[in-house]
Amino acid sequence: MSGDHEGVFDDRAPGLEEHDPTAGYLSYTVGFALAIVATLASFFVAQTNLIWAPGIPVGLIVLALAQIGVHLVFFLHLGSDRDSTNNILALAFGMLVVLLIIAGSVWIVGNLNSNMMPM
């Protein structure tokens, strides 16, 4: 009956790694490599003529989100494991507020701007 609990359920601090002697350096190095690749790709995409120009902002946003994801997982160690549930929930709420502020401001002010009388 009670034998189904799988291991110990600990909370986990954001930014703190499991105590595995080799995983730490590897995680930061992999994260750094991925982030450098994303950065190089962003600067390449912004200046290239290979890509259809109106698609460039979309590409940049995707690359930025990918890099933010890399930072969160490899530098801040926010994984999908159960122990970081609290940290992920706080992050989710923070992102909700950030989205509301940015999307709401751009939407409302954009609307006001298009309703302005021509000067």
Partner 1 sequence: MSITATDEALTAVPSEFTRRGGGGPAGKRIVVAYGFWIFILSDMVMFSALFATYAVLSGNTAGGPTGAELFNLRNVFIETVCLLLSSYTCGLGALSAERRQPTRFFVFAALTFLLGAAFLIIEATEFARMVQNGAGPSRSGFLSAFFALVGMHGAHVTSGLLALVYLSAQVIAKGLQPAVLRRLLCWSLFWHALDIVWVGVFTLVYLMGVHH
Q: Which of 37, 73, 79, 91 binds partner 1 (CB under 8 A)?
A: 91
Give yes or no for residue 55 binding partner 1 (CB under 8 A).
no
Cα–Cα dist 119/112, whole Å: 14
Residues forming the site for partner 1 (CB under 8 A): 1-5, 8-17, 21, 24-25, 28-29, 31-32, 35-36, 39, 42-43, 45-47, 53, 56-57, 60-61, 63-64, 67-68, 71-72, 75-76, 82, 85-87, 90-91, 93-94, 97-98, 101-102, 104-106, 109-110
